[in-house]
A and B are shown apart, each in its own frame.
Chain A
Amino acid sequence: DTEVTQTPKHLVMGMTNKKSLKCEQHMGHRAMYWYKQKAKKPPELMFVYSYEKLSINESVPSRFSPECPNSSLLNLHLHALQPEDSALYLCASSQDFNARNTEAFFGQGTRLTVV
């Protein structure tokens, strides 16, 4: 199984809503990532978890709150988002955060629209 599964595929939320994005992998990877991708742009790193601990937060606003309940799951909790937060949110995993020669496996993404 070389899949990273993200749910939901599409999400529309109002600016006062609270929602969560979910990501799951069963490859035994110990590093998991959240990326944000705007149209016609490359993915931008948001957060990195290594061995279930938050290792990197790329100065992401607090309205985005990541959580790693266990080594297979990664959540992104959303609250009071702005329309400019509308984007494709990608989850990825890799074998080990410190292993430079391993690739990241990406999920299919959640297309988020904030209205």
Chain B
Amino acid sequence: AQSVTQLGSHVSVSEGALVLLRCNYSSSVPPYLFWYVQYPNQGLQLLLKYTTGATLVKGINGFEAEFKKSETSFHLTKPSAHMSDAAEYFCAVRGDNAGNMLTFGGGTRLMVKP
């Protein structure tokens, strides 16, 4: 069965610092991977996705993620954090489960200090 692990339920960075949110997955078939962001009391918004092709994926709001098959990872990065990046971030995989359902990680809350 597929699964997603997000290391660190809370990450705190200073404004202007590098953001690194970690995501590791397991899947018995080539996975499709997604990062979503959720602001308080709102729905989930897609930041970026990896399906096939280039392993470095660029998304909205300056975020990017790199698919590393050998490390079964799909970490999310942003060179310079902004206060508006404070939110909950979810990594998700669509892999080998019946029905092609998304499996979400536990989420990482990003806090940005001024």
A interface residues, Cβ below 8 angstroms from B: 4, 6, 40-43, 45, 48, 55-56, 88, 90, 92, 97-101, 103-109, 111
Residues of A within 8 A of B94 (CB): 100
In the complex, which of the residues B34, B52, B99, B104 contacts A103, with contact meaning CB atoms closer than 8 Å?
B34
Highest count of chain A CB atoms <10 Å: which of B49, B104, B106: B104
Determine whether the beta carbon of B43 is less than 8 Å from that of A90. Answer: yes
With both chains docked as a complex, state the minimum distance between the C-beta of B85 and any C-beta of chain A, in angstroms. Answer: 18
Please give the number of chain B residues whose Cβ is less than 8 angstroms from any Cβ of chain A in the complex: 23
Contact flags (1/0) for B31-45 with A, using CB distance below 8 Å?
Answer: 010101000011111
B70 is an interface residue with CB less than 8 A from chain A? no
Residues of B within 8 A of A106 (CB): 36, 43-45
Taking A90-B43, A108-B43 as contacts, is the C-beta distance between A42 and B104 under 8 angstroms? Answer: yes
With both chains docked as a complex, state the minimum distance between the C-beta of A8 and any C-beta of chain B, in angstroms. Answer: 13
Report, nearest first, the 3 A-B pairs whose CB atoms are least far apart: A42-B104, A101-B51, A106-B43
Total number of residue pairs linking A and B with CB closer than 8 Å: 54
B interface residues, Cβ below 8 angstroms from A: 32, 34, 36, 41-46, 49, 51-52, 90, 94, 99-102, 104-107, 109
With both chains docked as a complex, state the minimum distance between the C-beta of B47 and any C-beta of chain A, in angstroms. Answer: 10
Residues of B within 8 A of A90 (CB): 43-44
With both chains docked as a complex, state the minimum distance between the C-beta of B2 and any C-beta of chain A, in angstroms. Answer: 11
With both chains docked as a complex, state the minimum distance between the C-beta of B5 and any C-beta of chain A, in angstroms. Answer: 12
Residues of A within 8 A of B43 (CB): 4, 6, 90, 106-109
